[in-house]
Structure 1
């Protein structure tokens, strides 16, 4: 049996960009309908329907890194290339955000040369300052507060398993109440998933992010009871020690003892349930190789979807721009 070739889009059949020219610093910078459109585009890209179009031809994206990166750097760079654009990588050694140069001056320079900025930084305020002073879109590739681009790939992966109506699906995040936990709460607001955060006392998500859920009338369950994992549709974890927290490593390892995702833990989630991890994995801490390689794991599908989801984001943010040269 031969499979039909995927439908191919043409320049005349592309969907209209829904976030044209806007910043993307948080998942809540999208409406639920805009999120739906971006995820639909990501699914279409994964199916190969965009191979004949180059909607970002002639456009450039600056990739600004304060933190090391494998997935973020590769997927944004390759994503711009596949859409016909160009990416330039700038390490913090080269630009020195806030040290060698004021963040506002970096923004005012970049807006003269490129058409967008993706930043993978420590402080959310750094991204906000870039956005405040640059007349071009700024995309959050990660901050200590939020990781919204990752969540696009995560929900593309979840939808690939369960379909697009996720209302009532149980997403259980176990581990540090960090940027991933915060962004999971925001996706619960946008999609209607039932979000539970399982974390030790003292490591809860950001209070302001929890208030975002309260304002939206969405309930988020906070607990340190590992029994909350049972029956989950999605079990998600992340590292216990993020970049910049190395001085707390021993304290954190003690606090999170017992929160490691193992194959035995995966047997307690729903029979159809899946395991996700944004990577890199610190094996022996938050998980073990046997979990990421388990039949319920979709970890590497999730990593692939970083490319598709971020291409969709780039198109919907930059797709109406015209080359300036």
Structure 2
């Protein structure tokens, strides 16, 4: 399977069929962990990191290795871009050497410039507005646990951040209904909400209890950047938007709990939930590897 899109920046580039095919391929790859096939032999992925990373870096690097390829870890300080070389020139130069570029950045404009000027696929490994690779793993995990996607309900609790924006697109493509409970000033991007509403049921609320009612999946994320814990910002979420045992009991009995990690235990989620029987966060984390392998195979021609 090859995707019609050259790049993977927001999830919105994909069709419902393409998303489903990537998820199914990821599940297949996971079952074939010891498969000796090397579909990306002699292929190279350049990885640009403006932000620190654990799951994104390790999963992409290990994924390329398992597929027979190579991955190059590049920080801005390793490149001439730190000395003023343009994004455009950087994109054209990297395209001459590698088969794909993954970038974990602050500004979405940088990703768009990379994609516009690169002749190889550009993958969003996280930006201020979106985190599409995380949602591939999340949807894969949900399908593994629930055996389907369409018709399910996800409750997102907390901050309408980049992960939430990408989740909305993922729900729209897969037929999942979603209820997002946030303080009014922390709702997800209005344009993303509007577009997603045209394809699935999207509810915005300030009440977590309403959001989790009849939910098959309860999800959250940190209330602030994991590297910058703004205490004033956190106070706007606590205790109302913390996922705890009491809130989980208001979802379906077989509801699962998900968190993209890293987590601030005792803040957005209690230890009783993240370490409890409903939590699938470690399966979710592992699935970053398998879903990204499926994405890489689908993107690299």
Q: TM-score, normalised by structure 1?
A: 0.88
In 2, Cα distance between equivalents of 1:65 and 1:35: 25
Q: Alpha-carbon deviations, 1:164-200, whole Å to 9, x = none?
A: 3x22211011111101110111012101101111001
Distance 1:217 1:20, change over 3 A: closer
Q: Alpha-carbon deviations, 1:237-279, whole Å to 9, x = none?
A: 00000268x3x81221111012111123222221111000000
> Of the candidates 170, 185, 188, which is equivalent to residue 205 of structure 1?
188
Q: Alpha-carbon deviations, 1:38-80, whole Å to 9, x = none?
A: 1110000111167121000000000100110000000000000
> Of the candidates 110, 120, 123, which is equivalent to residue 136 of structure 1?
120
In 1, Cα distance between equivalents of 2:159 and 2:21: 30
**Aligned ranges for residues 1-325 of structure 1 at < 5 Å?**
17-19=1-3, 22-48=6-32, 51-95=35-79, 97=81, 100-164=84-148, 166-214=149-197, 216-228=198-210, 229-242=212-225, 246=228, 249-257=230-238, 258-318=240-300, 320=301
CA RMSD of aligned residues (A): 1.7
Report deviation, 1:105.
1.7
Which structure 2 segments of 5+ residues have no match? none
| SS class of match (2:188) | coil
Aligned residue pairs, count: 299
| SS class of match (2:133) | helix
| SS class of match (2:185) | coil
Contact 1:153 1:306 in 2 (8 A): yes
In 1, Cα distance between equivalents of 2:125 and 2:102: 6
In 1, Cα distance between equivalents of 2:144 and 2:195: 27
Q: TM-score, normalised by structure 2?
A: 0.95
Which structure 1 segments of 5+ residues have no match? 1-16, 321-325
Distance 1:30 1:50, change over 3 A: farther
In 2, Cα distance between equivalents of 1:252 and 1:285: 12
Distance 1:21 1:77, change over 3 A: farther
In 2, Cα distance between equivalents of 1:279 and 1:93: 26
Distance 1:260 1:183, change over 3 A: same
Report deviation, 1:202.
0.5
In 1, Cα distance between equivalents of 2:226 and 2:277: 30
